[in-house]
Amino acid sequence: MKKDTHPRWHGNCKVYYNGEVVMTVGATVPELHVDVWSGSHPFFTGKSTFVDSAGRVEKFNRKFAGDYFKGGKK
């Protein structure tokens, strides 16, 4: 069997959310930084949160600004 074919296993990988450790899991990396986890997801918390990833709202507003909808059907 070949040596060193499997990645190194970190049994105490720390998961960070907003700079705070929220849980410890086993993974192939020593630490993970996440944007959403079960403690902040609306399905689990019952609260809605607004996550604007990569400025999608601004991109939408720029695209449909001005007289875009005034043209009507052609």
What is the block-wise mean pLDDT of the chain (74 residues), using blocks of 10 residues? Answer: 86 92 93 85 71 73 76 61
State how many domains the chain has.
1
What is the rounded distance in angstroms from the CA atom of residue 57 to the CA atom of residue 63?
Answer: 10
Q: State the pLDDT at residue 53.
A: 67
Is the whole-model pTM more than 0.85?
A: no
Comparing CA positions, the residue from 30, 23, 26 lying closest to residue 11 is 26
Q: State the pLDDT at residue 21.
A: 92
Is residue 69, in this structure, part of any structural domain at all?
no
DSSP 8-state class, residue 55: G
Q: Provide the domain limits for residue 33.
A: 10-63
Q: State the pLDDT at residue 30.
A: 94
Q: State the pLDDT at residue 3.
A: 83
Q: State the pLDDT at residue 33.
A: 93
Angle at 55 between CA 49 and CA 60, to 5 degrees: 100
Is residue 74, in this structure, part of any structural domain at all?
no
Is residue 22, in this structure, part of any structural domain at all?
yes
